[in-house]
Amino acid sequence: MTPIPEPTNTSAGPTYEGRLLDRPTEEVVDQGAGFDITTLITRRRVLSIVGAGAGAVALAACSSTSSSGSVTTTTASMTASATTEIPQETNGPYPADGSNGVNILEESGIVRSDITSSLDGGTTVDGTPLSFTFSLTDMANDNRPFEGAAVYLWQCDADGQYSMYSEGVEDETYLRGIQAAGADGTVTFETIVPGCYSGRWTHMHFEVYPDAASATNVDNAIATSQVAFPQDMLDAIYQLDTYPNSAQNLAQLGSLDNDNVFGDGYDLEMGTFSGDPTSGYVGSLAVAIDTATEPAAGGGGAPGGGGGQPPMGGGTPSTN
């Protein structure tokens, strides 16, 4: 018979696996369904954080890069991040979230899953397809799926340019979008693998809001962070003509450790990916949010390593 686990006595009261017992005078096995479910999720979080449509990623997580460029990454960062708050990072100089005079968050059509085209149905970007899922958990609510929370995702295109900012694409709004999480706490975006511009490792930006109604201005964000990409995956993709300068820009950095955002650690921000450069990739990231803590300001500039400039300098923010 499996022995009954013993709680740990702390100044705040008895705990089990770092969580206060809901019923301090009762045994661990008598804490109720909610506590039991959270314990099960903690022990099997790899299955719970991958998100809809990305289960194959976890199943293939022990695979290595093949000669065709297909790639999967290990689940080490996934298991660690289920109960550890996502690191706060700069939102960089190109967020269009109201922090530097440009705000796309109130535009009609910005709530969407496919962000590969501009809102007016104009330009659609080229690049290796990426279906990416964020799995949100609420640390202040026993790490339960964060139903209703909204994610704003933005990134550069295959040339390293940001819509609404970079010269020549100031009037474009592609590669920006908002999604609200369902009961499972996940949101999925259809996008492309970003290019690499000089001075920064390949990345995607995202902000988390308590709900879709509040996702209208950066002042309401409860988390701001970035997604990192593994080098073996990028090396394969950046051989494509679609990404003309990315291989050289990536090589200039040498490794993720030299990036001025991820250089201080990226385990909790490294996405998990499966796929190949021809057919595309499926990716995911577990994002734990602690609503009990004060979120760090995203900032509109490049504090703490906002990084290099996209091609042609990034330009002045458009007011359109």
Tell me the pLDDT band of 89, cut-offs 50, 70 and 90.
Answer: very high
**Residue 83: pLDDT over 70:** yes
Whole-number Å distance between alpha carbons of 174 and 162: 8
Strand-strand pairing, 129-138 and 280-289: parallel
Ranges 61-65, 130-134, 135-139, 218-222: which has the least confidence: 61-65
Tallying the residues shown for the chain, one arrives at 320
Long-range CB contacts for residues 61-68, cutoff 8 Å, separation at least 24: 61/272, 65/232, 65/233, 65/236, 66/276, 68/276, 68/278
**Residue 200: pLDDT over 70:** yes
- pLDDT tens digit sequence for 39-51: 433 333 333 333 3
* Global confidence as pTM: 0.73
Q: What are phi and psi of 257, to 5 degrees?
A: -65, -20
What does the pLDDT average to over 9-24?
Answer: 65
Ranges 3-12, 170-179, 217-226, 307-316: which has the least confidence: 307-316
Task: Assess contact for 78 and 192: CB atoms under 8 A.
Answer: no
**pLDDT at 33 (0 to 100):** 44
- pLDDT tens digit sequence for 271-310: 999 999 999 999 999 999 999 887 765 543 333 334 455 6
**pLDDT at 82 (0 to 100):** 52
Task: Assess contact for 273 and 281: CB atoms under 8 A.
Answer: yes
Ranges 67-76, 125-134, 139-148: which has the least confidence: 67-76
What does the pLDDT average to over 85-110?
Answer: 95
The residues facing 201 across adjacent strands are none
**Residue 210: pLDDT over 80:** yes
Whole-number Å distance between alpha carbons of 281 and 52: 14
What does the pLDDT average to over 264-274?
Answer: 97
**pLDDT at 70 (0 to 100):** 58
**pLDDT at 308 (0 to 100):** 53
**Residue 37: pLDDT over 70:** no
Task: Assess contact for 149 and 165: CB atoms under 8 A.
Answer: no
* Domains of the chain with CATH codes: 26-313 (2.60.130.10)
- pLDDT tens digit sequence for 139-176: 999 999 999 999 999 999 999 999 999 999 999 999 99
What does the pLDDT average to over 206-213?
Answer: 97
Whole-number Å distance between alpha carbons of 48 and 46: 6
**Which of 186, 182, 191, 178 has the alpha carbon at shortest distance from 217?**
178
CB atoms near residue 84 (< 10 Å): 15
